[in-house]
Amino acid sequence: MDNKLKSKTRLTNIQLIFQHISTNDDIDVIRESFDKYYKNSFIENFSSKKKIKFEFNTNFLIKLNNYYKEYVNLNDYLIKINSFITFDRKFEKWNLINQSIILAAISELKNTEESKLKIVLNDYLNISKNFISLNEVKIINAILDKFINEKKK
């Protein structure tokens, strides 16, 4: 699978997690809906007014979803994420897009071999730049760096 499709699949995973935490619907049902109704459909890019093909790799998306479900089923995942935050706003109080990005990234990074950690991290940061401010991207980068450094220990 090429890197562009991996990146699009990671973006789709963030969207699924966002919908899951905002609606509390089963993430597998959400994924099946995306696969049925959105995969390979065309959506309009509002800035360029061009049609863009909505594509992702279903098998990779299932893998990412499984990583996410495995991670959030850990009893201490919120405590763990909050331990990486150095200011007074708990993770649970963050906006949903930031939560979705961090949960998607950490759950994949947790299952990524050490030689590919920076590649995966950079992809999530590049995706994030399309949705959040540069300051928020820097905060997410700091949190994910702390996660990676702890993983390497």
User: Which class for 81: exposed (0-12), middle (13-18), buried (19 or more C-beta within 10 A)?
Assistant: buried
At 101 the pLDDT is 98
At 45 the pLDDT is 72
Quote the CA–CA distance of 93 and 108 in Å, as a whole number.
22
Kindly report the pTM of this predicted structure. Answer: 0.92
> What's 32's domain CATH number?
1.10.940.10
Quote the CA–CA distance of 21 and 136 in Å, as a whole number.
19
Beta-carbon count within 10 A of 33 CB: 13
Instruction: Work out how many domains the chain is built from and give that number.
Output: 1
At 103 the pLDDT is 98
Low-confidence ranges of the chain (pLDDT < 70): none
At 52 the pLDDT is 81
Q: Provide the domain limits for residue 98.
A: 3-152
Taking alpha carbons only, the member of 74, 84, 85, 63 closest to residue 16 is: 63
Half-sphere exposure of 112 (CA within 13 A, CB side): 19
At 87 the pLDDT is 80
**What does the angle CA 15 – CA 17 – CA 23 come to, to the nearest 5 degrees?**
100
